[in-house]
C-alpha cells in the first residue's frame, strides 16, 4: 500500500537544485585517466603469485583440483603414519642410539646363590635356613599361637 499522498512539490523543487552542484572544473575530464592510472597501478602491484596462478588453474579444472586434493590428503596420511610409528625405521635413524649400562641378569636358580647376594651368614650344611624354604616355621621350627593367656 502506498503512503498517503502529500504535497512535496516545493521540497522536490528545492532538492532538484542540488543537481547544479558540480565538482571543480575539469574534474570529469581528468577522472577517466585517474581511474586508469589506479587500475594500472593495481595490476603492477598485484602480479599473480604462483599460488594465485595455481588456484586459478584449479578453478578452471575441477578434476585436477580433486586429484590435487587426494594427493595432498595421501601425503598427509603418510606423514601422520610415519610420525606415530612405535619403532624407528633403521634406514631413517638420524641420532645415534645412547649406550646403555648393561643390567646384570637376575637368574639365581639355586637358593644358596641367592643367599650369597645377601648379608645372611651362609648355612653350615650348605642348605638354606628352614624359614626360607618353609615359611611360617620360624627359626625354632615351632609355631607359637597368639594368646592373651601366654602373657608373662
Positions that interact with other proteins (CB under 8 A) = 1-3, 6, 8-24, 27-28, 31-32, 34-36, 38-40, 42
The CB-of-34 to other proteins minimum distance in angstroms stands at: 6
Given a contact cutoff of 8 angstroms between Cβ atoms, the answer to whether 137 and 131 are in contact is yes
Q: Could you give the CA distance from residue 84 to residue 71 in angstroms, rounded to a whole number?
A: 20
The CB-of-31 to other proteins minimum distance in angstroms stands at: 5
Cα four-point dihedral sign 106, 111, 114, 116 = negative
Give the residue with the Cβ less far from other proteins, 3 or 62. 3
Give the residue with the Cβ less far from other proteins, 13 or 151. 13
CA proximity to 110, closest of 97, 123, 98: 123
Give the residue with the Cβ less far from other proteins, 4 or 84. 4
Give the residue with the Cβ less far from other proteins, 38 or 61. 38
Can you read off the three cell numbers belonging to residue 123? 648355612
The CB-of-32 to other proteins minimum distance in angstroms stands at: 4
The CB-of-56 to other proteins minimum distance in angstroms stands at: 11
C-alpha dist (Å) from residue 69 to 49, 57, 64, 78, 148? 20, 14, 9, 14, 85
Amino acid at each position: 500500500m502506498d503512503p498517503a499522498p502529500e504535497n512535496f512539490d516545493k521540497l522536490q523543487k528545492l532538492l532538484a537544485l542540488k543537481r547544479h552542484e558540480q565538482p571543480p572544473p575539469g574534474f570529469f575530464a581528468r577522472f577517466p585517466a585517474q581511474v586508469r592510472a589506479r587500475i594500472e597501478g593495481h595490476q603492477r602491484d598485484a602480479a599473480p603469485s604462483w599460488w594465485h596462478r595455481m588456484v586459478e588453474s584449479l578453478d578452471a579444472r575441477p578434476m585436477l583440483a580433486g586429484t590435487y586434493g587426494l594427493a595432498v590428503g595421501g601425503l598427509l596420511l603418510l606423514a601422520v603414519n610415519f610420525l606415530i610409528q612405535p619403532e624407528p625405521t633403521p634406514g631413517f635413524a638420524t641420532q645415534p642410539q645412547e649406550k646403555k649400562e648393561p643390567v646384570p641378569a637376575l637368574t639365581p636358580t639355586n637358593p644358596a646363590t641367592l643367599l650369597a647376594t645377601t648379608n645372611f651368614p651362609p648355612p653350615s650344611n650348605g642348605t638354606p635356613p628352614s624359614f626360607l624354604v618353609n615359611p611360617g616355621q620360624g627359626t625354632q621350627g615351632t609355631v607359637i599361637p597368639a594368646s592373651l593367656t601366654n602373657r608373662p
